[in-house]
Amino acid sequence: MSVRPMREVSADGRLRAIATLLPMALLGHTLQLLGEDTPWAPHAWARYWRTPGWHLHLPPWTIVAIAVSLAVATLGLAIRRTRPWLAAVIVTYAAHYLTYPYRIRNHMTLMLASLLALAIAWGLGASLREGGRRLIDLRGRGPAARFVDRYAVRGVAAVLCVTYFYAGLHKTNEAFLAFDERSAAFRGTQTFWIYGDLGSVAPTWALAVATYGTLVVEYAFPIVALFVPRLTIACVLGLMCFHFPHVAVMNVADYPMLASAFYPALFTAARWRLLERELFTASKWNVGGAILGVAAQLWWMPWWGELTIFGIGVMAIWGWWGGSMLRLSWRGLQTRRRVAATSASQSSDRLTPTPKVPT
């Protein structure tokens, strides 16, 4: 069974994929904010006026109106997936970020920077003219559409690489590298080990993999995925495996989902076109991957909470995506083997002397 992807957002499949994943990412964003900030609680109103920010210069109803507008834009993007709806999400999210009354999370800044990368590329693209004619319009139509969207995708990829690199730089310190309670890697690995019924204490080798592996993944994987196309699938799978403990047992499914919404930007346009065929065609690889992802989340999930339930959806998406990537890699390997065997056979035929026929 295959589903034809919608092309209203862009002719570039990577941007279409980002637009498809963004509503899920913004759902996680909303659950995280509501779960931690509890704006309906009695203390939230007092904290609203104590926290410095631009929201103090606006009537409180304005912040609510902006949040509602963002929700409407997100719902519209989920239903229609068109370029104007994506533009509406960008505008309303920027307004939401600048007027949010409480502390700004790292996932909010990643979302803002990524959306602004799109907005800047589209804004510069709108200035392209030839003979007084605009080369790209609001809906992404025109002779320069692919050119503009290619740079929009590059901008998103750059934001991802910088974000992950500086996350690794932030963790390169004595506390994180210590194999004790000071280290987030230590605490996270212990929790993952216990809730997965793998034992009461994580072994030293698992702590070492989690600690040093975190630095390797954050420093290198997005950059390698972007600049070494043959390793993009391996690196994206590695990023998903790296984030799985965060989704499963650490109650931070919002950030991994948000980051993964922009992973398509790490692929080349040609490789994404190949992967898109796998993503929109059900097979035992992606169906099995989705089932495996949900099962893994259910096994490790410590409790039934908003973000842990949200994690089930995240792991279903990642499982489908991972299965599609593995199938594409397997088919590519099979093709290379057939080509190599054919080439070897043809070379052998050329080297075999032709027997002389007696006259």
With a cut of 60, say whether residue 302 has pLDDT above it: yes
Q: Which residues contact 345 (CB under 8 A, 6 or more apart)?
A: none
The overall average pLDDT reported for the chain is 89
Q: Is the pLDDT of residue 5 over 80?
A: no
CB of 281 closer than 8 Å to CB of 2: yes
Whole-number pLDDT of residue 308: 86
Q: Which residue reads 């630095």 in tokens?
A: 215
Query: Which range has the worst mean pLDDT, 119-133, 232-246, 327-341?
Result: 119-133
Q: What is the pLDDT of residue 85?
A: 94
Q: What is the value of pTM for the model shown? A: 0.90
Extents of the domains making up the chain: 13-335
Cα dihedral value 339, 340, 346, 352, nearest 10: -170
Whether residue 350 is predicted with pLDDT greater than 70 in this model: the reply is no
Q: Is pLDDT above 50 for 54? A: yes
- Is 331's pLDDT higher than 60? yes
CB 307 within 8 Å of CB 253: yes
Q: Residue with structure tokens 């507008």?
A: 69
Q: Of the candidates 325, 204, 230, which has an alpha carbon nearest to the alpha carbon of residue 275? A: 325
Who has greater pLDDT, 36 or 73?
A: 73
pLDDT in tens, 226-263: 999 999 999 999 999 999 999 999 888 899 999 999 99
Q: What is the pLDDT of residue 3?
A: 46
Q: How far, CA to CA in Å, does 301 sit from each of 194, 250, 292, 307, 334? A: 11, 9, 14, 10, 37
Q: What is the pLDDT of residue 4?
A: 47
* Distance in angstroms (rounded) separating the CA atoms of residues 15 and 265: 8
Query: Roughly how many angstroms between the first and final C-alpha of the chain, as a whole number?
Result: 62
Q: What distances in angstroms separate CA 351 from CA 147, 238, 345, 347, 357, one per listed residue?
A: 48, 44, 10, 6, 18
Q: What does the pLDDT look like over 170-229, one tens digit per residue?
A: 999 999 998 889 999 999 999 999 999 998 899 999 999 999 999 999 999 999 999 999
Confidence (pLDDT) at 116: 96
